[in-house]
Structure 1
Amino acid sequence: MLITHRTQNPVDIVDLSGSLVMGDASTKAKKKLLEVVEKGQAKVVLNLAKVTFMDSTGLSVLISALKAARSKDGNVALLNLAPPVQSLIELTRLQQVFGIFQDEAAAIISVK
């Protein structure tokens, strides 16, 4: 799991790549996302374009970030979902909870 972070004030953009599954990768991702929320404005866009696979542990990472952001009056949007990730999000109906975007500018606006 590779995680990069950049800021487009006041929005934090986190690019994730690889598999987000049970194990060290998800633990590292969760820790990094919660750190981004705590240190930033709690307005986060998660770019998942390069996430090739995700299981229920990966979903819990996303939900943890969303809960942390909302506790600080922020929000989390998902960007560029790969087809397997999109299918999992739809299967679990999380598209009703997260804003899902294909355009980074639209995702940024949605969390401001």
Structure 2
Amino acid sequence: MKATVTHRKIGQVDTVAIAGRLTAAEAPAVRQEILQVLERGDARLVLDLPEMTFCDSSGLSVLISALKAARGSGGNVSLAGLTPAVRALIELTRLQQVFEIFDDAEVAAARMG
């Protein structure tokens, strides 16, 4: 299943949910959608990932691109709802030292809000 992206607001914080597989094939389109959300918003973003079933290195680059764009505008990106497989990848690559990680998007948004 290819990646699908949905955007919503929790309070004043933009939340983007990514579902399915985030691989090299989907990465450019997903990156573009996330960057558009960041450009329209205030650079505070929660990436809600409980439905993301797989992520490869291209997918990780999408997450890092979002973080760089947000921080460049004075904001930040948090990750929420990681599946065990995605959490293992984040920890393997030590990205938990870069991203704040929360169990769910509502908690992440409240912390950012």
TM-score range normalised by the length of the shorter chain:
over 0.9
Alignment match of 2:13 (pick from 8, 11, 14): 11
TM-score, L = length of structure 2: 0.93
Aligned to 1:79: 80
The alignment's C-alpha RMSD in Å is 1.0
Instruction: Please give the secondary structure, in 2, of the residue aligned with 1:69.
Output: helix
TM-score, L = length of structure 1: 0.94
Q: Deviations over 1:28-80 (max 9, x none)?
A: 11000000111101100000100000010000000000000001110000000
Instruction: Please give the secondary structure, in 2, of the residue aligned with 1:7.
Output: strand
Using the TM superposition, give the Cα deviation of residue 7 of structure 1 relative to its aligned residue in structure 2, in angstroms.
Answer: 1.3
**Structure 1 spans left out of the alignment, 5+ residues:** none
8 Å Cα contact 2:38-2:44 kept in structure 1: yes
1:32 aligns with 2:42: no
Matches within 5 A, 1:1-112: 1-23=3-25, 25-112=26-113
Aligned residues: 111
Instruction: Please give the secondary structure, in 1, of the residue aligned with 2:49.
Output: strand
Runs of 4 or more, structure 1, over 6 Å off, are: none
- Matches of 2:79 and 2:100 in 1, distance apart? 6
